[in-house]
Amino acid sequence: MDGCAREEATFPHHRPGREAGLLSRLLSLRVGAMLLRNTAVSCGVFLLGLGVLYALVQWAGFREVPAAGIGFLVANSLHYLLGRAWIFRGTDRGRASGYALFLINAGVGLAVTLIFYAALLELTSLHYLTARVIVSLFAGLVVFLLNAVFNFRQV
């Protein structure tokens, strides 16, 4: 396969003769639509994760940071299923390798989440749920970009 055909396979929306950098691809309407779908899914699974966090802290006596990690992992498992079917539909990534890469990306997101969450709890007087919401905005965008570019190869 020549270089142009290989790039078309990686970025199906790329047209030969049209050089598009990553930034211009990220700022496209197509990626904007994926980001909107991702935002809808993220909000739903985030509420699920917050519910798990709340239940673990309030009812099971967990510490806030480990409970946030567990809630994050539960939410991300559901996010993969919805992401594959709706957000990044049409991906040619295999299910097993896609899930493995999704979990790696989720691990990056989990690290970002826990580091910044712990810092906010330590350095501010924010309520633990408020701190979790703030951190999720940044971590969620990082994970979306990793999945869009590297996992589902839709950008």
Question: For the segment 106-142, what is each residue's pLDDT rounded down to a tens digit?
Answer: 889 889 989 999 999 999 999 998 998 899 888 888 9
Give the CB-side neighbour count of residue 15, counting CA atoms within 13 A: 2
Q: Is residue 5 part of a domain?
A: no
Q: Is residue 4 part of a domain?
A: no
User: Who contacts 68 (Cβ-Cβ below 8 Å, separation ≥6)?
Assistant: 53, 113, 114, 117, 128, 132
Q: Which of 110, 128, 109, 111 is nearest to 120 (CA)?
A: 128
The amino acid at residue 136 is S
- Is 69 part of a structural domain of the chain? yes
1 in a domain, yes or no? no
At 19 the pLDDT is 53
- Which range marks the domain in which residue 32 is found? 22-151
- What does the alpha-carbon distance between residue 142 and residue 125 come to, in Å, rounded to a whole number? 25
Within 10 angstroms of residue 76's Cβ, the number of other Cβ atoms is 21
Q: Per the structure, how many domains does the chain have?
A: 1
Q: According to DSSP H, which parts of the chain are helical?
A: 3-10, 22-26, 29-54, 64-82, 95-123, 128-146
Query: What does the pLDDT average to over 8-15?
Result: 45
Report the alpha-carbon distance of residue 85 to residue 83 in Å, rounded. 5
| C-alpha span between 104 and 100 (Å, rounded) | 6
Return left, alpha or beta for 13; rule: phi > 0 is left, psi -120 to 50 is alpha, else beta.
alpha
The answer to whether position 75 is within a domain reads yes
pLDDT of residue 103: 87
Higher pLDDT: 96 or 41? It is 41
Q: What is the pLDDT of residues 54-112, one digit of tens each?
A: 999 999 999 999 998 899 889 888 999 999 999 998 889 998 899 899 989 988 988 99
